Each structure stands twice: as structure tokens, then as C-alpha cells.
Amino acid sequence: MEKKEVLSQCKQNNVRFVHLQFSDLLGMVKSVTIPISKLEETIDKNAWFDGSSIEGFTRIFESDMYLKLDLSTFAIVPWESNGDGAVARIICDVFTPDGKPFEGSPRHMLKRQLERAKKMGFSDFWVGPELEFFLFPLDEMGRPVVEPHDSAGYFDYSADKAGTIRQAMSDVVVQMGVDVESIHHEVSPGQHEIAFKYNNALTQADQVMTVKTALRAVAKKHNLHATFMPKPISGINGSGMHVHQSLGKNGKNDFHDKKGKYNDLSKTALRFIGGQLHHMQEITAITNPTVNSYKRLVPGYEAPVYVAWGQTNRSALIRIPRLTNGNVAGTRCELRSPDSSSNPYIAFAAMLAAGLEGIEKKIDAPKPIDENIYEFTDKKAKRMRIKTLPGSLAEAIAKLEKSKLVQDVLGEHSFEKFVEAKKVESDSHRLYVSQWEVDTYLDNY
């Protein structure tokens, strides 16, 4: 959108305030709100803010930064708009005072990898994320109660209490420009999924941030809490963010080759997969960045643990979905380990960097595994030379610290800040005495 169109939309919708949004290093939405009277000036002259107060940004003596508005992301915020006027949002890029993109901005990190892909001849990195989440009721104080909102299961209809709520969620995110493919009940009680139509990675990262915010807002209006926490309840499946991926050249899917093996996968696709498998252990701290992420990544709950790929094999870390009606444009690989506690800008950037490394260094994917990997023992995996994902945040950080690839994606300063923040989180968890420990050990020792 051009400035004239944005200002016209604001006038038509009686917009009173505009949120200028951006992301910190850990994926939290940050915002500066301006009155509509300041929008035109801000579009022309940008918005200054203190970067030293943002997680993972700069030191106090380099704190001056500004937000440059990406007008293509303009949207009305439905849940904040009423008869008194509307509220809009615009997603922004972060710049330093000398007019250069801030290297530590997660959105810029993704843009940098997309530019690298273009230099290698790939015009597009397409992704299609599937976000799983739970709905929990709120108590009389407005706090979430950790118990499922319903007793339904996968695609259930009769026991599903959230059909109307999901429709309301879909309506809101569609109004904000998100092209929703589907929204349905997931495997666990109280668990749901929303999937977006395939799009370029930058748009999709913006939309992941939008959807997470919107779904929480809609849930709250129904006296519920929507959480993207990977494993809020023990003993049942956790929530992931499966990501479908492909590379494009001149608008065509470069993952498809009718002469290729393994469901017509091109050499590009196989090396992209090879690169992701090769670097998966070191980027797991990016795609699964919380202590709780590793409560989901355990055998027995339909989350991938072994670093392998397969054709239409839903137990594999990377699977190749079956094409429908010979739709070669749909050729893609699905990475099944990420979860929504990750920062989507950094997660997509790390995934792309790993895949591009596989192409550059000609890291061919190993033979696909078409057995049920969920039933593998560690002994069998070792015999087949299949690696496992890190079993804890501490293990993932240890792999991350040695990764030149992730250092290149994040940049030196942000890499250090990310590692530091995650070590603090891991150490805090290690020192915490849980209720399980009290229940198990207090009487016996």
C-alpha cells in the first residue's frame, strides 16, 4: 500500500490510533502507539525509540533507533475497534541513526537470509505454518485454569465446544489479511490448529505474530485463554508449529523435478533437506527455544525426536506430503519439530540458512525412512546412524554455541544475547524445585 491509500483507509474506518509493531529477539510483540494525527508525519520521518530497553537489542550508549513503517502490513485491529473509532496496526523495520537496518532486528535477520537465497538464484522461500494451541477457561479473577475446554479429539464435531469460537478467530485474522486454509480441533482435548495458505516467509512470519495476538484477544472475549505453550498438560500431546517449505525460481517451485526420485523431488529439494537434517541439532534452540519445548519433544506423543526424513511419513522430522491431483506446485517438505514459542522471523531464517547451506555444500539427504519412527528405540536409531534432537534446552544451547551457521543468522551481538538469555532460563529451571519432586521424594528421603 502507498501512503495515500493508507491515509484513505484510516479516514474511511475512522482510525484514531495506530500501533507501530516490531519484535524483540525472543519473539515478543513490542509496540509504539501514535494518534492518527501523527501518522502522515511518522510515515515520512519515522518513529524514534529507545532500543536499550528491548530484549536482545543494543547497549545503553547505542540506544537511539527508529522504526520505519512497512505500509504493506497496515490492518485494522478488529477487537480494539468500536463505535468510537478504529485502531490500526503497521509492522515496522528497525533502523540505526545512520540509516542502516539494525542487524539485531529479527525481521531483518529473515530479510538477510531471503536476500542470500536470491543471490543463489531463488526468487522465493515459501512457507506454510500450522499453529497448534490450547483453549483453557478463565477463573473469576481472569486467570487461566489449566484444564481442557472440551473433551473432543482429532476433527471431532459432536464433543467440540469451540467451533463457534474458532469461526470467530478465523473471521478476525481474515479481516487482518491472513489467508486461512483451515482451522479445526486437534488430537488432544482442548487443542486446536490454524493453518495458513502458502506465502513468502516474511509475510508468514508477520502473520504468525498477528495470529498469536488475535487468537488470544478473541479467546479472552469468550472468557477463555489461548496458549501456544508447547506442553501445558503432561500426559497428552503438546502443541507444535509444523512448517511446510519450498524454494521458488522465477515463480516456479524448484523442489519439483518429474525426473527426480522420491516423489519427484529435485536435487535442490534433497540438498535443502540434507542441509536441514545436518544442522537440525544446532538450530533446535531457535525452533524450540523454551524449557517447556523439550517436554513436547519426547517419544510417544507424536512429536519428532529422531533426525530423519520420510515420504508421507508423519513420524519423521521432515516429511514429504503427498501431492493432490498432480499439483507439482505443491511439492514441499514439512519440518515438524518447531513450536510456536519460537520467534518466527528467526526460526524461518535459521531453517532457510540450513537448507541453503545444504544446497551450497551439496549435502545430499540420506535415504528416507518409511518405518514408524515413533516406535524406534535409541539402540535401533544408533544402529541406523540416526541422530536425535537435543533432550533439553541446556543440550540445545550447547549445540547452538558451536554453530557458525546460527551465529551468521543472528549476528555476533544478538547471538551472544540469545545464548545468555537462554542459559539464564535453563539455569532458573534447573534450580527450581517442582511439585513432582516434592510429591515423589519428600516422604521417602
Report angle CA 413, 339, 170 to the nearest 5 degrees: 115
For 402-442, how does the pLDDT look when each residue is reduced to its tens digit (9 = 90+)? 999 999 999 998 999 999 999 999 999 999 999 999 999 99
- Which of 98-112, 178-192, 313-327, 414-428 has the weakest average pLDDT? 313-327
Average pLDDT over the chain reads: 91
- Residue 396 pLDDT greater than 50, yes or no: yes
Per-residue model confidence (pLDDT) at position 264: 86
Domains and CATH numbers, the chain: 15-102 (3.10.20.70), 112-436 (3.30.590.10)
- Which of 46-60, 69-83, 242-256, 318-332 has the weakest average pLDDT? 46-60
Catalytic residue positions, numbered: 50, 130, 132, 186, 193, 242, 314, 334, 336
For 194-214, how does the pLDDT look when each residue is reduced to its tens digit (9 = 90+)? 998 999 999 999 999 999 999
**Cell digits for 334?**
514439512
Q: pTM here?
A: 0.94
Confidence of residue 327 (pLDDT cuts 50, 70, 90): confident
- Residue 381 pLDDT greater than 60, yes or no: yes
Confidence of residue 322 (pLDDT cuts 50, 70, 90): confident
Per-residue model confidence (pLDDT) at position 60: 46
- Residue 157 pLDDT greater than 70, yes or no: no
Most trustworthy range by pLDDT among 72-86, 290-304, 310-324: 72-86
- Residue 61 pLDDT greater than 50, yes or no: no
Q: What percent of the chain has pLDDT over 90?
A: 71
Confidence of residue 50 (pLDDT cuts 50, 70, 90): confident
- Residue 324 pLDDT greater than 70, yes or no: no
- Residue 301 pLDDT greater than 70, yes or no: no
Which of residues 301 and 265 earns the better pLDDT score? Answer: 265
Per-residue model confidence (pLDDT) at position 306: 87
Which of residues 379 and 126 earns the better pLDDT score? Answer: 126
Confidence of residue 53 (pLDDT cuts 50, 70, 90): confident
